[in-house]
Chain A
Amino acid sequence: EVQLVESGGGLVKPGGSLRLSCAASGFTFSNAWMSWVRQAPGKGLEWVGRIKSKTDGGTTDYAAPVKGRFTISRDDSKNTLYLQMNSLKTEDTAVYYCTTGAEVWGQGTTVTVSS
């Protein structure tokens, strides 16, 4: 079964850091371009960023609101995607999803940034 499972969400103070993980199974993770998408409470979907497969260069791209603060990485030996979030702001509060960018999505993990 193709599956993505996010973890690592929680409550963090403004200015703090958090690392999300996304465990993949059921497909060849190393070949997949992976993305993070978030959804603030009551708001629409927002693309956060994407990492290409290593064979395609492994490069990353980010949405303007998170560029310079968030870093996407991958460990193909562990079939795991990461999102390192630094200098968190209250507006980063959201459910964070990992996705292959098409059909496969995780169930999401909630990040709350509040003092």
Chain B
Amino acid sequence: SYELTQPPSVSVSPGQTARITCSGDALPKKYAYWYQQKSGQAPVLVIYEDSKRPSGIPERFSGSSSGTMATLTISGAQVEDEADYYCYSTDSSGNLWVFGGGTKLTVL
């Protein structure tokens, strides 16, 4: 079965840049999506199609993808960015979707 691999945790100080990676064999040909989830809430899409930002998402959130790795970057992370972040993509067939294991971002 297809897997996406994320680091379990990332920690930065306020104002620093946080980078969360996601690796998967199909990422060279399939888009990555990134979700933010705060405790007790539904996920919120912060990046779609590798690098596009939905309306209402702050500009400090950006995404990129190169080879088998996608990266979510939060430039100038703020305390309110503390959350779990999940990458989401599909296998090479395009029919089976999968989430990464999630990364807990701590900003303090």
Contacts and interface: CB of A to CB of B under 8 A. Distances in A.
Interface string A50-87: 10000000000101100000000000000000000000
Interface residues of A, number: 18
Interface string A82-112: 0000000000000001000111011110000
A97 B42 contact: yes
B74 to A, nearest CB: 19
Contacts of B100: 44
Given A44-B99, A61-B95, A102 B42 contact: no
A102 B102 contact: no
A5 B101 CA distance: 26
Given A64-B1, A106-B42, A45 B97 contact: no
Contacts of A63: 96, 98
B43 A45 contact: yes
A45 B89 CA distance: 12
A47 B54 contact: no
B98 to A, nearest CB: 6
Contacts of B12: none
Given A61-B96, A103-B54, A44 B42 contact: no
B43 A35 contact: no
Contacts of B102: 44-45
Interface of B: 1, 33, 35, 37, 42-45, 48, 54, 84, 86, 88, 95-102
7 contacts: A37-B43, A44-B86, A44-B100, A47-B99, A97-B42, A105-B42, A108-B42
